[in-house]
Amino acid sequence: MTIQDDIALLERVPTFAPLGREALRIIAIGAESRSMQEGAVLFRIGDVADCGYVVETGSFKLVSGHEHVLPVVVRRGALLGELSLLTETRRPVTATAQELSLVMRIMRPLFLKMLDGYPEVAERLRQIMLARTEELTDELSRVRHVFPAVSVPEVAKNTPKPSEEEAEDSARAAGQESAELATDAPAKSERTGSD
């Protein structure tokens, strides 16, 4: 792909689209492409996240490790690890290539340096993230009545004791962002088969 092709792809990513071509050009020049064979793991739950990935071709299955969260398949234009572009975090999901796939790897220092050079872009990104946070807060307040109020002792009493491996997985996943599943590209649920 050419730099122009990379810029065009980045413009399709909702988080990046408002940043402008010049800022995207810097990202495209500094990013690296990585090829992944079918079945290869891009990252695992709990891995330190020091970069974001944009899916260029192919698809990846995202699995959270929680049985009540359906796996999600993401395709071209999906941004994986959005939060890791801004701050130190850990991966809340495992991403596995479903076919021969290509990703654009964007390192956090590159992204932060671009923001330093374009303060107006940094402000636009702040506004985007603030709007998303407000939207998520509104959505949560609309559905909170669906969940019955349960006291902590009641939950502890009715929760089976996890195995040592499950306890380690839970400890690694604690405090992490689950927004990784809410990617910037259309997703396909594994169970429902819908797009």
The enclosing domain of 9 has a CATH number of 2.60.120.10
Contact call for residues 13 and 79 (beta carbons, < 8 A): yes
Amino acid at 116: D
Examine residue 163 and state whether it is found in any structural domain, yes or no. Answer: yes
> Do 58 and 126 meet the contact criterion of CB atoms below 8 Å apart?
no
Q: What is the pLDDT of residue 1?
A: 75
Indicate the Cα dihedral angle 71, 75, 77, 78, nearest 10°: 10
Write the pLDDT tens digit of every residue in 6-20: 999 999 999 898 889
pTM above 0.85, yes or no: no
In a domain, 195, yes or no: no
Q: In the chain, helix, strand, coil percent, each to 5?
A: 45, 20, 35
Task: Summarize pLDDT for 33-72 with one digit per residue, the tens.
Answer: 999 999 999 999 999 999 999 999 999 999 998 888 899 9
Quote the percentage of the chain above a pLDDT of 70.
74
Q: What's the domain range around 96?
A: 3-189
- Number of domain units in the chain: 1
Residues of the chain below pLDDT 50 = 152, 154-156, 158-159, 167, 169-195
In a domain, 181, yes or no: yes
